[in-house]
Chain A
């Protein structure tokens, strides 16, 4: 309804009554100015009289009488009601009040049930819509307890009701006999009303790996018994949590939402700083030098955690630290160690360790290494030449484990305290069937040691620093094997080398002992991974020919083969034994323990002959 339809009420009575009625109407209309047009506007006579008497300075009772008379005369505008003894006048903005009439002629209820015999519903589409809702709702699917238990999602609850009925039957004769008649009554009572047990709440939880844990047991007890499983399962759950409520770095966790964020600019500054220094940096150094964060600040550890976590998620940064020394490296940082052996090649060369042919613990147990914190080792030619030490079980017991699950390498510092030298060494961890190794010891080995030197690697107080020591002796000069790479084709030769370290004379690759090794072919690294072929070549070089020209055969001692094979590639005694016993063309010399024969296959013989007299055989072919 619009303002144009407003009815102007007309008032009756004498002049004074009309004026009073109009004034009260305007007053009540003002009171209900925000009401609906038909909405009742109520006011008591008492209120109206008080207002009127105060305004006119007259007696309220007189005012009430005048108002009552004036409004009674205008009953077409004001409806008069008496509620609990109070007189109430009702009007509306329309100028009169008409109580609303509820129309019950056509109700939904009637439409459902009338007529009494409704028409049949022929088409279900009349009452059920066939259109799909715009948004599909995912309803919860009930999975029965049986299948939840089968899937290991819920523990199998052991029924405990078996114990209850057995008890009264056993106890009944003992109690019943002396009491006589009253005994059966008691028994009856006990059967009727068994002891009220509180309903059992299942306190057993099942871990994703199926392990059942009873949470009623103390936490310390649970941790002592299942600590590793509980920790690994929680770690896995945290790492797989899509909401990332907690995030982990190494063995530490913190809510991601509470971590400081690092922008691109921060990351660039960190990267530039590491490149400027030229070697991996500790997280503490980055924080101090770039962010000027003080360890005494209360949020220092959170800031440190945030930095490590954030860098671990960046592709350009690589974690090369260990527990206690969190080091970060970046791409394009100068490589540590030799470039002559690629990582992929070295991983394959050291693969024999992962295959189980590692005898490094034959003389030292893991416990003794961990307790003493040192490992002794005799350098082979390959190790000396390339500054590489395969990561044997013995070395692995000494060196730190990776902190992160996907960590590829760690950068350590190796000191040579006898010469006050220090060098960075990269520890490459084994992956799959590829072995691990240490690289970066080339200069240190070449300057002070020779193949056959007995070295000792030991821990220091700093978790990332290790020391290499050797026993000194008077300086000696000898002609030792070296790899001459000055020419286009690298070749082995002997050169005068002075050394002042104690050596294992059997392992010292001197010209006097192993003069034939100059004939070894310096195979490319990718070929040296074929250990069986390398052994055959080594056998032909160092072995004593015991066959004929048509049927060549070589004999060599195990130790000679070990030294010679370790010129071309790393190998353990156990691995060499495996190669000799599994090889088709090797046979032990029954008359001399520790000696082996090698009979080259015919095809190899022809190829050799081709090499020796190429033209002659070419003509024949």
Chain B
């Protein structure tokens, strides 16, 4: 759960992104990496919205 104003793009949830990339077992290109990252941030924010 997170408010959008607390998200720092490129810093927030970078650990989670690294975990996901590691789990794929393949280096990821920057486009798919960005898409994954946006999905993670989206989940964070929308989970916060649902909880609110």
Q: With the chains together, A155 CA to B49 CA distance in Å?
A: 17
User: Of all chain A residues, which has the CB nearest B17?
Assistant: A246
Could you say which interface size class chain A belongs to?
35 or more
Instruction: Mark B15-52 against chain A: 1 for CB-CB distance below 8 A, else 0.
Output: 10111011001111111011101110110011011001
User: Of all chain A residues, which has the CB nearest B11?
Assistant: A237
Within 8 Å by CB of A245, from B9, B15, B25, lies: B15
A230 near B34 (CB under 8 angstroms)? yes
B41 near A205 (CB under 8 angstroms)? yes
User: Of all chain B residues, which has the CB nearest A145?
Assistant: B5
Given known A-B contacts A253-B27, A253-B33, A258 and B22 have beta carbons under 8 A apart: yes
B30 near A235 (CB under 8 angstroms)? yes
> Which secondary structure characterizes the binding site on chain A?
mixed
A255 near B26 (CB under 8 angstroms)? no
Instruction: Mark A39-58 against chain B: 1 for CB-CB distance below 8 A, else 0.
Output: 00000000000000000000
Given known A-B contacts A254-B27, A302-B25, A201 and B10 have beta carbons under 8 A apart: no
Q: Closest Cβ of chain A: how far from B52's Cβ, in Å?
A: 5
B52 near A198 (CB under 8 angstroms)? yes
Q: Closest Cβ of chain A: how far from B12's Cβ, in Å?
A: 9
A305 near B27 (CB under 8 angstroms)? yes
Within 8 Å by CB of A230, from B29, B38, B45, B46, lies: B38
Q: With the chains together, A582 CA to B7 CA distance in Å?
A: 54
B26 near A302 (CB under 8 angstroms)? yes
A215 near B37 (CB under 8 angstroms)? no
Complex interface: chain A residues within 8 A of B52 (CB): 198-201
Q: With the chains together, A206 CA to B45 CA distance in Å?
A: 13
User: Of all chain A residues, which has the CB nearest B36?
Assistant: A219
Complex interface: chain B residues within 8 A of A148 (CB): 5
Q: With the chains together, A251 CA to B1 CA distance in Å?
A: 31
B9 near A205 (CB under 8 angstroms)? yes
Within 8 Å by CB of A157, from B5, B30, B42, lies: B5
Within 8 Å by CB of B4, from A203, A258, A301, lies: A203
Q: With the chains together, A319 CA to B17 CA distance in Å?
A: 28
Within 8 Å by CB of A234, from B21, B33, B46, lies: B33
B22 near A223 (CB under 8 angstroms)? no
B4 near A231 (CB under 8 angstroms)? no
B27 near A227 (CB under 8 angstroms)? no
A255 near B18 (CB under 8 angstroms)? yes
Q: With the chains together, A204 CA to B4 CA distance in Å?
A: 5
Complex interface: chain A residues within 8 A of B45 (CB): 201-203, 205, 215-216
Indicate whether A154 reaches chain B with its CB closer than 8 angstroms: yes
A215 near B38 (CB under 8 angstroms)? yes
User: Of all chain A residues, which has the CB nearest B14?
Assistant: A245
Within 8 Å by CB of A203, from B14, B28, B46, lies: B46
A253 near B30 (CB under 8 angstroms)? yes
Given known A-B contacts A201-B52, A205-B9, A299-B25, A234 and B4 have beta carbons under 8 A apart: no
Q: With the chains together, A238 CA to B8 CA distance in Å?
A: 12
User: Of all chain A residues, which has the CB nearest B29?
Assistant: A251
Given known A-B contacts A208-B9, A246-B14, A252 and B28 have beta carbons under 8 A apart: yes
Complex interface: chain A residues within 8 A of B26 (CB): 301-302
Q: With the chains together, A555 CA to B1 CA distance in Å?
A: 79
Complex interface: chain A residues within 8 A of B8 (CB): 153
A219 near B35 (CB under 8 angstroms)? yes
B27 near A155 (CB under 8 angstroms)? no
Q: Closest Cβ of chain A: how far from B50's Cβ, in Å?
A: 9
Q: With the chains together, A198 CA to B27 CA distance in Å?
A: 41
Indicate whether A207 reaches chain B with its CB closer than 8 angstroms: yes
Complex interface: chain B residues within 8 A of A204 (CB): 4-5
**A228-282 with Cβ < 8 A to chain B:** 230-231, 233-238, 241, 245-246, 248-249, 251-255, 257-258
Complex interface: chain A residues within 8 A of B6 (CB): 154
User: Of all chain A residues, which has the CB nearest B20?
Assistant: A255
B10 near A223 (CB under 8 angstroms)? no
Q: With the chains together, A13 CA to B8 CA distance in Å?
A: 84
Within 8 Å by CB of A154, from B5, B37, B46, lies: B5
Indicate whether A151 reaches chain B with its CB closer than 8 angstroms: no
Within 8 Å by CB of B46, from A157, A216, A248, A253, lies: A216
> Could you write out 7 A-B pairs with CB less than 8 Å apart?
A206-B9, A215-B41, A215-B42, A231-B30, A245-B17, A251-B31, A254-B27
Residues of B within 8 A of A (CB): 3-11, 14-15, 17-19, 21-22, 25-31, 33-35, 37-39, 41-42, 45-46, 48-49, 52
